[in-house]
Amino acid sequence: MIYLDNAATTFPKPEAVYKAMDEMNRKAVNAGRGSYKTAHKMSEIISDTKQHIRNLVNTDAETPVIFSPSITVALNQIVNGFEYLDNENIYVSPYEHNAVARTIWNVSKKHKINIIEMPLNDDLEIDIEKLKYEFSKKKPSYIYCTHISNVTGYILPVDKIFIEGKKYGSINILDTAQSLGLIPVDSQKIGADIIAFAGHKTLYGPFGIGGFINISRIKLDPFITGGTGSDSLNLDMPSGLEARYEAASMNMVAIAGLNAALKILDQQSILKHERELTEYLVNGISEIKGTRLLCPTNENNRVGIVSIVLDSINSDDAGIILDEDYDIAVRTGYHCAPYIHSYLKDTDKMGTVRISVGQFNSTRDVDELIKAVAELV
Amino acid sequence: MIYLDNAATTFPKPEAVYKAMDEMNRKAVNAGRGSYKTAHKMSEIISDTKQHIRNLVNTDAETPVIFSPSITVALNQIVNGFEYLDNENIYVSPYEHNAVARTIWNVSKKHKINIIEMPLNDDLEIDIEKLKYEFSKKKPSYIYCTHISNVTGYILPVDKIFIEGKKYGSINILDTAQSLGLIPVDSQKIGADIIAFAGHKTLYGPFGIGGFINISRIKLDPFITGGTGSDSLNLDMPSGLEARYEAASMNMVAIAGLNAALKILDQQSILKHERELTEYLVNGISEIKGTRLLCPTNENNRVGIVSIVLDSINSDDAGIILDEDYDIAVRTGYHCAPYIHSYLKDTDKMGTVRISVGQFNSTRDVDELIKAVAELV
């Protein structure tokens, strides 16, 4: 199988991740739930993994890092953790994933909030000037922004968006599912108050671990409640800046895998490699007549992910042929991104064919894909 | 290490679980998110695992089984999924875990509901006659009941409780964290509408997978929202009886581990073994002066877990000595069970020393523990 669906989950993971998980599996007990040595060791591995995450976003050792079973759960904890006031304006980029979009939509059924999509220009990039004007008219209370689109690979100008929002006191939430570990995320410069992350995508960790970094130590209502192994007689969640949001047993096996992934993560090399592959892919596809490329035209503003639409065939059908006749795994459809397709104008083709590369792909993989697409159209 | 903390997580897991997880890790892609063969195979493994769960509770192939990252998340989905009316009575057993207790408490801050603890008799067992009287005075709308206490190993008479509640039309939720895979859970007889389960405890699966079986197909509000790989343009969660509650990528590695665990689960043998070990433990401890046994006196009503309190020493200190001087892992404290300690009268000793056995423990392990406790008092 030629795997070009790395935006769904990176595959394979580094061998060290598999090894660390298997080793942990054979010694994993419940962290922080017992007073014995092995339970303490589990807690140390958790702390060490969190410190790697802090280093990656350039924040100090005191910044709370909350582990959740997935970035979806983390984003639910965040979105549902705020106390929204009537008529507050919630800005979202049109590139949001359903982990944000559906969750805010769900919140809007219970609270009188206004969900506002940020404006795009003709290149389908955020129109910063128009956005500034929007902000001045309708003050942003919250801004949710994905860092890299999981449909087109577009790198959103989150620093510009967030810093502009801060002029109005907005709370800024960054979704790094497709960016952390691939492109720099500097919490000192980017203006994000909370950064959500996924373990199993650009960080090359396993399923079962994600979370959020609470840069500005914002107090959220605990969304998921349960046992924390501490203060058990208290029916309220503990007040600790991490424990408050960490009910249930920690998934030690997934954390060990993420730990191993973070230890060997070489962001600069991966970025260089993915940029080269992305450009190679874009150039190859753009020479095939009957295909429409859906990614930013400015190559500095894209990486890793490219969507295409074929004139001759629905995207789902294209995906099936790529799989069955060429053994190439891509993803087709709408990619859990509800807003952007009205801009991409791809609904007559049932969404896009998404090609997403990872550190283990080669130009040969891209060659095979291009050859197959050329035969398809 | 002599591991006697199986109620926190069973350890070790069967070798087949480790192998299945490592193998899956090396081929795991994202289930149901791609149209390629491997993604389909992932979906098949999910379906097969769910069918094992259905078989275990004796329900038909149409019954929705929802996978969640943990039983804590599952219980949050359930407790927060109902639309509570003013003044509804929510019955809970005094043996509930904080995954239920804190979550209902949290709900009670937003809704005018009455949380009522079920009455206990002098043996600290549910007083069914008094409960019947309570039900007649205050009609039960919801009944939350754990199947086996994670503090004392008490097997609650859930069938009697639930069937009595059904006379008043109650919705009955069973927490099988400590029971599924160990004692029979027959959904045809037990009167439960929803059964929540944990993968990593009595089922001998890994961390990262739990869920609930929606026996009565009760429509819950989706609590966690996000991408489902389907119907992506719709901001509401899909209507499918499982998909509606299954946002985010499935943890395929954990599911593969649970699948392997379920394939080889031999409930009858494990139950026989744990019953023998439990009685052996109870007999041994009861001969040591200066210890107080906290478990049902009727041996038919207990299994797997025994708590003790030592006259001479706080439970936490006892746990540390057992670890450091004897390399025995037990758990001490309140075990995330907030209500029961006022009945157990153990707060002056900082909770209990909990000893919990599993299928891989032997009488020799129990001998070591008894010897150590005898030296401690």
Closest CA to A304 of A7, A15, A46, A1: A7
- Are B232 and A105 in contact (CB < 8 Å)? no
- Are B5 and A33 in contact (CB < 8 Å)? yes
- CB-closest option in B18, B98, B237 to A102: B237
How much is the average pLDDT of B289-295?
97
At residue B17, does pLDDT exceed 70?
A: yes
- For residues B122 and B116, give the distance between their C-alpha atoms in angstroms, rounded to a whole number: 19
Please tell me which residue of chain A has the smallest CA distance to B253: A207
How much is the average pLDDT of A104-119?
97
The DSSP output letter for A238 is P
Reported as a pLDDT band with limits 50, 70 and 90, residue B35 is low
What's the pLDDT score for residue B321?
A: 96
pLDDT in tens, B296-353: 999 999 999 999 999 999 999 999 999 999 999 999 999 999 999 999 999 999 999 9
* Chain B CB within 8 Å of residue A5 CB: yes
At residue B34, does pLDDT exceed 70?
A: no
Place of tokens 């009575």: B89
How much is the average pLDDT of B220-227?
97
pLDDT in tens, A264-284: 999 999 999 999 999 999 999
* Chain B CB within 8 Å of residue A321 CB: no
What's the pLDDT score for residue A32?
A: 64
Best B38, B232, B339 member to test A by mutation, with max A CBs in 10 Å, is B232
How much is the average pLDDT of A138-158?
98
> How many CB contacts within 8 angstroms connect chain A with chain B?
286
What's the pLDDT score for residue B281?
A: 98
pLDDT in tens, A139-148: 999 999 999 9
What's the pLDDT score for residue A33?
A: 60
Write the burial class of residue A83 (CB in 10 Å: 0-12 exposed, 13-18 middle, 19+ buried).
exposed
What's the pLDDT score for residue A28?
A: 78
- Are A229 and B336 in contact (CB < 8 Å)? yes
pLDDT in tens, B239-251: 999 999 999 999 9
Q: Phi first, then psi: give them for residue B148, nearest 5 degrees.
A: -130, 130
* Chain A CB within 8 Å of residue B344 CB: no
pLDDT in tens, A33-55: 666 888 889 999 999 999 999 99
* Chain A CB within 8 Å of residue B106 CB: yes
What's the pLDDT score for residue A230?
A: 86
Q: Are A358 and A6 in contact (CB under 8 A)?
A: yes
- Are A233 and B38 in contact (CB < 8 Å)? no
The DSSP output letter for B148 is B
* Chain B CB within 8 Å of residue A264 CB: no
Q: How many CB atoms lie within 10 A of CB A268?
A: 8
* Chain A CB within 8 Å of residue B9 CB: yes
- For residues A52 and B49, give the distance between their C-alpha atoms in angstroms, rounded to a whole number: 34
Nearest-neighbour CA in chain B from A340: distance (Å): 9
At residue A197, does pLDDT exceed 90?
A: yes
At residue B154, does pLDDT exceed 90?
A: yes
Arithmetic mean of pLDDT over chain A: 96
HEC sequence for A298-321: CHHHECCEEEEEECCCCHHHHHHH
Reported as a pLDDT band with limits 50, 70 and 90, residue B32 is low
* Chain A CB within 8 Å of residue B39 CB: yes
Best A336, A361, A368 member to test B by mutation, with max B CBs in 10 Å, is A336
HEC sequence for A167-231: CCCCEEEEECCCCECCECCCCCCCCCCEEEEECCCCCCCCCCCEEEECCCCCCCCCCCCCCCCCC
Can you give the pTM of this predicted structure? 0.97
Q: How many CB atoms lie within 10 A of CB A306?
A: 26
Best A5, A25, A41 member to test B by mutation, with max B CBs in 10 Å, is A25
The residue with greater pLDDT, B28 or B124, is B124
What's the pLDDT score for residue B33?
A: 60
pLDDT in tens, B165-222: 999 999 999 999 999 999 999 999 999 999 999 999 999 999 999 999 999 999 999 9
Q: Strand pairing of B140-146 and B114-117?
A: unpaired
Q: CA dist B276 to A327, B299, B317, B359, Å?
A: 54, 10, 28, 11
- Are A9 and B249 in contact (CB < 8 Å)? yes
